[in-house]
Amino acid sequence: MAIDTLKVAKRLQEAGFSPSQAEAVVDAVQDAADATDLATKRDLTEGLYGVKRDLTEGLQGLTRDLTEVEQGLKRDIAELERTLRAEIQALELRLEAKIEAAIGALFTRVVGLIFGTLLVNVGAVFTIVKLLGH
């Protein structure tokens, strides 16, 4: 803390202190002021500006970090979506193949049943013709 020692000494002398007493008091006050760690307006202002600067830099860093996280999440989601679409498409193809195989097997059985029924009927007709023909 800055003290105008000359001004203080003059005031003390005007109040009745001798020059040596005034000098001793001023020296004691100056020593006490120098020994204490008092903050000046300038110290406080610089400190506040430093805190503001640090907070601003911290917020900017945090904003950058959050932007990077957001971009990473968007990439991960897009990749997951591509993977899921590919898996769904593969499942659809397998399902379509199974349906086609089931339709083929059903068609084969139906044709077999029709052919078997036709043979039974033809055999019955031959049997009837043979019985009637005798």
* Separate counts of helices (H) and strands (E) for the chain: 3, 0
- CA distances, 39 to each of 27, 29, 42, 53 (Å): 20, 16, 8, 19
Written as six digits, the tokens of 98 are 């199974």
pLDDT of res. 6: 82
**Cα–Cα dist 107/87, whole Å:** 30
pLDDT of res. 8: 83
Q: Is the pTM of this model over 0.85?
A: no
pLDDT of res. 69: 98
Q: pLDDT per position in the chain (134 positions), as tens? A: 567 888 888 888 899 989 899 889 888 888 777 766 777 888 889 999 999 999 999 999 999 999 999 999 999 999 999 999 999 999 999 999 999 999 999 999 999 999 999 999 999 998 898 888 86
